[in-house]
Structure 1
Amino acid sequence: MMDGPNSSGTNDPLPNPPCKLPQQSQRNPYRLLEFAVHFLGMSGPAALIRVLIVDDHPVVRFGLRTMLESESRISVTGMVGSAREAVRALTETPADVVLMDLRMPELEGSEAILELKRTQPDARILVLTNYESEEDILGALRAGATGYLLKNTPQDEIVRGIEMVFENRRYVPPSIADRLMETLGREELTPRELEVLMLVARGMTNKEIAQALFISDKTARNHVTNCLLKLKANDRTEAVTTAIRRGIIRISE
């Protein structure tokens, strides 16, 4: 068992000044790990990414945990089998990225993502699934997922996806993005999407865009998602800079 920074009976020099281990951390091994990383300076230049695995197949859950625990930057905070269990798990132990399957018991597809985002609006969701239809992919992204991967994706790309979603950047592999372009049509933005993109360029959030255009938050989010996909952008900033570079929009002084 690892002693805390103030444990007695050790000859190792304590950091100066000594720090008391938070009582909450003593009861939660993941918070204890976070405390050790922060206090002892074990993290190096990159922050630890806390991941919650959500999949209804135990073999998949344990396989993903084994794979991710081999990555020094990733800490698996828990494993659950449904979206509702994920809501409870996030309430008890926060996670930076939710790695979840698309179709599970109780809730499936975009409904599961919508439920998770409704109760945990700050959750960053990376879908990892076997389903690759355009309807599934677009439904997940429009519901609030930040990334989408297939389960046959190599480990290094899954890790890359987790890192990008952790940074709040959209992650869709080129193979999926190219296929979505066929569904979304050519890269032209609709008049409404151009209007939304101009408001994004002004720094507005989805909620502020919805209020300005008298549309629902969900509709505003769908428009922003379409803009990112059509411009092949990973985040809102990249979408705006790409549109300006291509002459699609102009920002007045």
Structure 2
Amino acid sequence: MLTTVTTSKIIRVLVVDDHPFLREGVRAVIATQADLCVVAEACNGTGAVEQYRAHLPDVVLMDLQMPGMSGLEAIVAIRSEWPDARIVVLTTYSGDAQALRALRAGASGYILKSSLRKELLDTIRSVSAGGKHLDTAVATDIAMHVIEDALTDREISVLELAAAGNSNRAIGNRLNLAEETVKGHMKAIFIKLSAADRTHAVAIAARRGIIDL
């Protein structure tokens, strides 16, 4: 999944994460490498776009879950203005649905924060050279679910409201649907997620990154 590329060029990196300790740790690791340099940091998506515009880094390390503009929104914004931008997602979430959204938005890499110590440096070099990297555990999860029917936008909306504790009737009122229609959506959700009940469906969807809790 990972190709290491040796190069004499200084690779300029933008680090985006709302946790200062994580940014500090990444900067410290990169500082030990002669061919890598952190040129800027940001704590949210808006800052990521601003810092990208100011520094035009070779690689962006992007968290997804941040206040304000999310990492996913920032990826879309950056890639819309700079289509060749090379972005590596750094996240604690291994969900296949979230990973697919990031990759479809234009991310070139996806690393779990638990794997940073062993994968970060080679991934930066590989992505800078035009390669791609997907965490092995995430790739396996994607492969397991690739042939499944994905939840529709309506089904996701229903499940998000169910996760918030709403009854079928309340969900119907919120979405302007008949209660029986909501029940039909819930049955379809159970089948697609292989879930036994609402609680199970919510847990599966949250783990896979289909919904946020």
Q: TM-score range by the shorter chain?
A: 0.5 to 0.7
1:111 to 50, 57, 73: 73
What is the match of residue 81 of structure 1? 43
Confirm whether residue 131 of structure 1 aligns to residue 99 of structure 2. no
Query: How many angstroms apart in 2 are the aligned matches of 1:179 and 1:52?
Result: 28
Which of 103-112 and 125-134 deviates more?
103-112
What is the match of residue 101 of structure 1? 63
Report 1:82-231 matches (<5 A): 82-185=44-147
Letter in 2 for 1:148: Y
What is the match of residue 52 of structure 1? 14
Deviation at 1:154, TM superposition (A): 4.1
Letter in 1 for 2:19: H
Q: CA RMSD in A?
A: 1.8
Confirm whether residue 63 of structure 1 aligns to residue 25 of structure 2. yes
Deviation at 1:164, TM superposition (A): 1.2
Could you tell me whether the CA contact under 8 Å between 1:149 and 1:172 is conserved in 2?
yes
Query: How many angstroms apart in 2 are the aligned matches of 1:170 and 1:134?
Result: 16
Query: How many angstroms apart in 1 are the aligned matches of 2:94 and 2:135?
Result: 12
Query: How many angstroms apart in 2 are the aligned matches of 1:47 and 1:148?
Result: 23
Letter in 2 for 1:156: K
Deviation at 1:156, TM superposition (A): 3.5
Cα-to-partner distance string for 1:34-93 (whole Å, 9 max, x where unaligned): xxxxxxxxxx95211110000011111111111111112111001111122122112221
Structure number with greater Rg is 1
Residues 87 and 110 (structure 1), Cα distance of their counterparts in 2 relative to 1, 3 Å cut: closer
What is the match of residue 197 of structure 1? none
Deviation at 1:118, TM superposition (A): 1.6
Of structures 1 and 2, the one scoring higher in RCO (CA 8 A, sep 6+) is 2
Query: How many angstroms apart in 2 are the aligned matches of 1:120 and 1:100?
Result: 15
Q: Pick the structure with more helix per residue.
A: 2
Query: How many angstroms apart in 1 are the aligned matches of 2:15 and 2:116?
Result: 17
Secondary structure, aligned partner of 1:152: helix
Aligned sequence identity (%): 36
Letter in 1 for 2:125: E
Could you tell me whether the CA contact under 8 Å between 1:83 and 1:116 is conserved in 2?
no
Deviation at 1:109, TM superposition (A): 4.7
The runs of 5 or more residues in structure 1 that have no matched partner are: 1-43, 187-253
The runs of 5 or more residues in structure 2 that have no matched partner are: 1-5, 149-213
Letter in 2 for 1:65: R
Letter in 1 for 2:100: L
> Normalising by structure 1, what TM-score?
0.53
Cα-to-partner distance string for 1:216-250 (whole Å, 9 max, x where unaligned): xxxxxxxxxxxxxxxxxxxxxxxxxxxxxxxxxxx
Cα-to-partner distance string for 1:151-175 (whole Å, 9 max, x where unaligned): 0114231111111111111101322
Query: How many angstroms apart in 1 are the aligned matches of 2:51 and 2:141?
Result: 34
Could you tell me whether the CA contact under 8 Å between 1:127 and 1:148 is conserved in 2?
yes
